[in-house]
Amino acid sequence: MTNNILEMRGITKTFPGVKALSNVTIEVERGEVHAICGENGAGKSTLMKVLSGVYPHGTYDGDIVFENETVEFKDLTDSEAKGIVIIHQELALSPYLSIAENIFLNNELKGRGGLIDWNKTNFEASKLLARVGLRENPTTKIMDIGVGKQQLVEIAKALSKEVKLLILDEPTAALNDEDSDHLLDLILHLKGQGITSIIISHKLNEIKKVADSVTVIRDGKTIETIAKQEVTEDRIIKDMVGRDLEHRYPDHTPNLGDELLRVEDWTAHHPQDTSRVVVDNVNLHVRAGEIVGIAGLMGAGRTEFAMSLFGQSYGSRISGKVFLRGKEIKTRTVSEAIEHGIAYATEDRKTYGLNLIEDIKRNISMASLKKLERFGLVHDNEEYKIATEFKNSMNIKAPNVLVKTGKLSGGNQQKVVLSKWIYSDPDVLILDEPTRGIDVGAKYEIYTIINKLAAQGKGVIVISSELPELLGICDRVYAISEGRITGELPIAEATPESMLKLMTMEKPR
């Protein structure tokens, strides 16, 4: 008898032509928080799908031992019955149902006559909400609470199933720092109640905070399991990418030119609630060759500012002035903004950035088809050639440019989005969370691309919630809070502490 709640031994899983997992072994001790790290495509999700029965027994080789008993799951229901619950990155909640309804979805509490007992449902739900520290009425609809709280509802749902092993797939990817901290505390709290967790994450600092041990997977193989006291960021990174990463950020010597873009008194209101100010009198500028950061917590109005500037894609009652090279321009529609040399790469590339059912080539040309037009027809061979050039120069990993972007990893998808905007030949690029959900190695590549753009004399605005990233790549940073620019610092003076202070500065009331 060991004290392991879970052992996966020699797991090998092949897809036609690809060996996704090869002889992966992982041991999770009862009552610990076990982190699994690896680059995108390393096989983390596949491993979890094997564990939770999404890939049923028989479709993989190797053994799963759960609570000292070899298990053969046929599907998710099977694994849940044993107390293994997985919470996916994309939350599986129904927005129009209440919190309580979601918690007991497909596990409804029935009263007399087989009908749902709503009083009991709401009562039990409020008990579960208390356990996860969520103060919300169980009858509130999911769509009316934020992502952070939705994540807690997912955990409450898991608790309702008497979970023994909780698997969280990148649980904080979409959360701001405050919500992330709360969630991590909750995981530790549940650990105190004897619930074992596996957490899959890219974020090394949070792994250090909660994990008792870390298993690193690379290219479908287990590299090593590191105990808490030995965990260092450098070691995890080295394991993940298979080499030392001396610098997380490429060197960048700014070569600043004249002012490219200046925004004056930019104000935007909420699209529905038109009396609410979301972007409040923002003033900023970017010079040629400059990388400027906008730091702000989630909901601070960063994305709202960028999108309202980019063809009024967000908001209502927008006012303010935009100058390009000292000349005032209008950016009322997206095509107008593009024509004036502004590009905006969205934070949510799957929803707003890419046509996932279309190939790389057509995604790259999407914003600049006019350039490919000859006698009214799109020159498709030229399109192929240009897309292939981007594939090579941006190092997009795909057999050719006819691959659908839906099949690419996050990092490669982001490179396609960047290619699209670079091909539109902008003067100023606004990159909203350019490295969200991207693994360490690909992040470095994205930073290198950003540097190259600046070196070509373009102005780059990077919006990010990861402070180290902004401090690592920018020449100058703005802090934004409650829709207002609360400060501006040259990079030499910016420290995480000084930035955070500005980012949390409240409006004088």
Partner 1 sequence: MSNTPTQTPPTGDSQAVGATINPVQNKFTDRLSHVLADLGKNGIFIALIAVVVLFSILTDGILLRPQNISNLVVQNGYILVLAIGMVMVIIAGHIDLSVGSVAAFVGACSGVFAVQWGLPWWLSVILSLGIGALVGVWQGFWIAYVGIPAFIVTLAGMLIFRGLALVVLGNANIGSFPAEYRALGNGFLTDLFGEFEIDPLTLGVGAIAIIALVVQQVRTRRGRQKYGQDVEPMVWFVIKLVLISAAIGFFAYSLASYKGIPITLIILAVLILVYGIVMNRTVFGRHIYAIGGNRHAAELSGIKTRRVDFWLFVNMGTLAALAGLIFTARLNLAGPKAGDGFELEAISAAFIGGAAVQGGVGTIGGAIIGGLIIGVLNNGMSIMGIGIEWQQVVKGLVLLLAVAFDVYNRRRSGGR
Residue 357 interacts with partner 1 (CB under 8 A): yes or no: yes
In whole angstroms, how close is the CB of 263 to partner 1 at the nearest point?
19
Closest by CA to 293, choosing from 141, 467, 64, is 467
Six-digit token string for 104: 């007991």
* Contact region with partner 1 (CB under 8 A), list: 106-114, 173-181, 281-289, 330-338: 330-338
* Residue 362 lies near partner 1 (rule: CB under 8 A): yes
**Min. distance of Cβ 16 from partner 1 in angstroms?**
9
- What does the block give as tokens for 29? 């001790």
The values of phi and psi at residue 463, to 5°, are -100, 130
The H or E element spanning position 36 is: strand 33-37
Which residues have a Cβ under 8 Å from the Cβ of 413 and sit 6 or more positions away? 349, 350, 353, 354, 405
Site for partner 1 in 401-430 (CB under 8 A): 402, 404, 406-407, 409, 411, 420
Q: How far apart are CA 330 and CA 310, in angstroms?
A: 10
Among 148, 171, 353, 426, binds partner 1 (CB under 8 A): 353
**Residue type, position 35, single letter:** A
| C-beta of residue 1 within 8 angstroms of C-beta of residue 68 | yes
What is the smallest separation between the CB atom of 409 and partner 1, expressed in angstroms?
8
Does position 272 interact with partner 1 (CB under 8 A)? The reply is no
Could you give the CA distance from residue 430 to residue 334 in angstroms, rounded to a whole number? 13
Cβ(102)–Cβ(142) below 8 Å: yes
Q: How many CA atoms lie within 13 A of 134 on its CB side?
A: 29
Asked if residue 445 binds partner 1 (CB under 8 A), the reply is yes
What is the nearest approach in angstroms of partner 1 to the Cβ of residue 4? Answer: 30
Single out the residue of 3, 119, 319, 392 in contact with partner 1 (rule: CB under 8 A): 392
Q: Which of residues 192-251 bind partner 1 (CB under 8 A)?
A: 219, 241-242, 250
Window contacting partner 1 (CB under 8 A); options: 4-12, 208-216, 227-235, 338-346: 338-346
Rounded to whole angstroms, what are the CA distances from 469 to 233, 269, 289, 436, 475?
15, 29, 18, 11, 12
By CB under 8 A, is residue 59 in contact with partner 1?
no
Q: Which stretch binds partner 1 (CB under 8 A): 164-172, 176-184, 275-283, 370-378?
A: 370-378
Side chain identity, residue 419: S
Report in angstroms how near the CB of residue 465 gets to partner 1 at its nearest.
20
Burial 346-366 (b: 16+ CB within 10 A, else e): bbebeeebbeeeebbbbbbbb
183 or 307, CB closer to partner 1?
307
Site residues for partner 1 per CB under 8 A: 17, 39, 41, 219, 241-242, 250, 310-311, 313, 333-335, 337-338, 344, 346, 351-358, 362, 365-367, 369-370, 373, 376-378, 380-382, 384-385, 388, 392-393, 395, 397-400, 402, 404, 406-407, 409, 411, 420, 439, 441-442, 444-445, 448
